[in-house]
Amino acid sequence: MRFLAIGAHPDDIDAMIGGTLIRLAKQGHHISYLICTDGSKGTQRQEEVAGMQATRQAEQRAACQVVGAEGVYFFNYVDGELEAGLSLRRDIVRVIRTVKPDVVLAWDPTAFWIGDTVINHTDHRTSGKEAMDAAYPGAGHATMFPELGLPASPTRELWMYGSNFPNVFVDIENEFAQKKAAVQSHVSQHYLDEDYLFQLLRDDNRWVVRDCDNPVTVKHRQHPEFVESFRRITLNRMPEVMGEIAPVWELHRGEDAQS
């Protein structure tokens, strides 16, 4: 199977869903990354902005090697200024039609905040919205964006990460050390500082294991960094795909996700 992970910035994908992608790559599935912005605002120092794009792209390529991804696409829209609209959507459609993923993974665009500790970055929401609109109807309809000269490529499923309404919970305990190495490839983002890294990977995910009651979250109440979660949207359901990311727990319609 083919998986296309879409993020707004270098490090988004590795920090949010790196463990799941590592497991899929180990099983021989094809993993590609798409980064929508240049990552240039990933610094508090104005004098570093000009060189940040090259730095962060190199870091992302290194992280992809750790994960086992086959390649990464960069759009270079200005960090912090990503705008929703046809330009970005067309670009994403181009990549989807090139990669032909069965599953697109992207930020949940409905999440203006995540849990009760995170205001979700505007670029995250914008990239998620346009990824969703590119997957359907954009990339899958032959009459849309004919100027690209690429055949339609319907996406079978979307997995939206950073969601306040997850229905899939993946136990990544066995992949965590490798995920940590991937995230720490983004040296410019200070992830070699273990305290800061675990604040990102543990504290910001604590609401998931607190508020969602299922075998994966119960197991890792003390280690929320071992859980990754998605809102799974099935346009053309692949029944076998959950087995590929096991151990996993999926909330089915009519079940209660709350404790």
pLDDT at 257: 45
Find tokens 């970005």 and name the residue.
88
Rounded Cα distance, 129 and 109, in Å = 5
pLDDT at 255: 53
pLDDT at 226: 97
Cα 213 → chain centroid: 23
pLDDT at 199: 87
Burial of residue 143 (number of CB atoms within 10 Å: 0-12, 13-18, 19+): exposed
208 DSSP assignment: H
**Strand pairing class (71-77; 118-119):** unpaired
Rg of the Cα atoms in the chain: 17
pTM score of the predicted model = 0.95
Return per-residue pLDDT of the chain as tens, 259 residues. Answer: 999 999 999 999 999 999 999 999 999 999 999 999 999 998 888 988 889 899 999 999 999 999 999 999 999 999 999 999 999 999 999 999 999 999 999 999 999 999 888 899 999 999 999 999 999 999 999 999 999 999 999 999 999 999 999 999 999 999 999 999 999 999 998 889 999 998 888 887 889 999 999 999 999 999 999 999 999 999 999 988 998 888 999 987 655 444 3
Of the options 3.40.50.10320, 3.40.190.10, 3.50.50.60, 3.30.460.80, the CATH number for the domain spanning 2-250: 3.40.50.10320
3-state secondary structure string, 98-154?
Answer: HHCCCEEEEECCCCCEECCCEECCHHHHHHHHHHHHHHHHHHCCCCCCHHHCCCCCC
pLDDT at 258: 40
Query: In the chain, what are the domain boundaries?
Result: 2-250
Going by C-alpha positions, the residue among 121, 119, 39, 131 that lies closest to residue 84 is: 131
Burial of residue 73 (number of CB atoms within 10 Å: 0-12, 13-18, 19+): middle
